[in-house]
Structure 1
Amino acid sequence: MAGVRAGVLLSAGLLTWLVVRGPLAPYRQALLDTAPPQQVLVLGGDVERERVGARLARQLDKPLLVSGGSNPEYASWLVQEEGLTTDQVQLDYRARDTLSNFTSVVDDLASEGVRHVLVVTSADHLERSLAVGQVVAGSLGIHLTGVPVDCEPTCREESALRRWRDWLRAVAWVVTGRDLRDAADPAPAVR
């Protein structure tokens, strides 16, 4: 019985260390952070996302970052139409997919001291993108709040397999700094 008690105490101590000071501490910070949003991040893939993100950035007076969005000419026109100035908007075209929407910008956000980001994406993409983003951004203590954009009538339900696959890719990226899809490429992923 004493051995069981010692094992439980040791396990509780290890778990406490992991969450308070160890490698899970940034996730604790991201989950418990109550700072107001500091940035609007639009995940490219639909022009309506960019429109909603620009409107939200203007209403909240926050900077807008569009990751993998529409062509620069259209995006620039759109943000001007929504009343934003060019110094309020950053267009980033490094992303190839949902994982790289986050991996390509997360270090920049962290170095700018951003702790809370509003993530704008289509309603049918929100669950998977937040699963991926919370792993990647959470590893640096950045809290994410999802902002769904209506996608009717073209919404398509994403499979659980796709969500799990991308979540595992995000975990692998945090652990190794590499995307599992790029395993054949010897160059490290953007970090």
Structure 2
Amino acid sequence: MSFSNYFIKSKIKIKLFIFTFLLITSLVFTDRQLQKYFIKPKVIFILGGHEERERFSAKLALKHTNLALLVSSGGPQIYITKIFMNAGINNNRLYLDYRAKDTVTNFVSLIKKLQIQKTKGIYLITSNNHVNRAKTIGEIIFGTQGIISKPFPVPSNTPSEPLDKLIRDVGRSLLWIIQ
């Protein structure tokens, strides 16, 4: 085989590989987008730490009376319970978990509970300055376990988080997957 024939066949193989990779990637992405559309959340998942998030979640819970509320590392139990009680939310819908110390462990510490409940979709409640990092971590940790996250950003006057926090937590999330 001449060099030019070999070169042409190599180019064809490379193009075929790239086409196949792009096709598979687009099919996976499309499937995720369809799942987000069709899967109905069973839980309002609140990343605690800011009162506005809990208040926003209480209003959302009034519109979605069939959804459980899961607050990860929010304020003191008495205070959080009072916010939801004052909004008219029944305590039996509310679950408070205080194991998480940061955004990654918000997701990691509650994955088993969501799996036991056979949860396929959640509403993710966090501040708008924090939503990109939280959404990305959720896609990695929950997404790899078959749980779709639908973010609801809560308005905040705080500036967006720096990119290095996102990169750090993506790395931590990927490490969690492979361990």
Q: How does the TM-score come out when normalised to structure 2?
A: 0.82
1:170 is aligned, of 150, 169, 173, to 173
User: Does structure 2 conserve the Cα–Cα contact (< 8 Å) formed by 1:41 and 1:67?
Assistant: yes
Task: Return the letter of the residue paired with 2:168.
Answer: R
Task: Return the letter of the residue paired with 1:130.
Answer: K
Give unmatched runs, 5+ long, in structure 1: 177-191
Which structure is larger by alpha-carbon Rg, 1 or 2? 2
**Equivalent residue of 2:145, what SS?**
coil
Deviation at 1:156, TM superposition (A): 2.5
Task: Return the letter of the residue paired with 1:160.
Answer: L
Higher helix share: 2
Distance 1:13 1:118, change over 3 A: same
Distance 1:112 1:31, change over 3 A: farther
2:64 is equivalent to residue 60 of structure 1 = yes
Deviation at 1:111, TM superposition (A): 2.0
Deviation at 1:36, TM superposition (A): 1.6
Deviation at 1:12, TM superposition (A): 7.2
2:43 is equivalent to residue 39 of structure 1 = yes
Deviation at 1:19, TM superposition (A): 9.8
* Count of residues paired in the alignment: 169
**Partner Cα distance (1:95, 1:11) in 2:** 41
Give unmatched runs, 5+ long, in structure 2: 1-7
User: Does structure 2 conserve the Cα–Cα contact (< 8 Å) formed by 1:67 and 1:95?
Assistant: yes
Which residue of structure 1 aligns with residue 117 of structure 2? 112
1:80 is aligned, of 67, 71, 85, to 85
1:149 is aligned, of 143, 150, 154, to 154
Distance 1:29 1:71, change over 3 A: farther
Deviation at 1:35, TM superposition (A): 1.2
User: Does structure 2 conserve the Cα–Cα contact (< 8 Å) formed by 1:30 and 1:138?
Assistant: no
Task: Return the letter of the residue paired with 1:77.
Answer: K
Distance 1:32 1:141, change over 3 A: farther
User: Does structure 2 conserve the Cα–Cα contact (< 8 Å) formed by 1:29 and 1:141?
Assistant: no
**Equivalent residue of 1:139, what SS?**
helix
**Equivalent residue of 1:113, what SS?**
coil
Which residue of structure 2 aligns with residue 179 of structure 1? none
**Equivalent residue of 1:118, what SS?**
strand
Distance 1:29 1:95, change over 3 A: farther
**Partner Cα distance (1:91, 1:63) in 2:** 11
**Equivalent residue of 2:146, what SS?**
coil
Deviations 1:73-115 (A, max 9, x none): 1111111111111111100111100000100111211221111
Deviations 1:116-168 (A, max 9, x none): 1111111101011111111000011111111111112xx13211111111111
Q: How does the TM-score come out when normalised to structure 1?
A: 0.77
> Percentage identity across aligned positions?
28
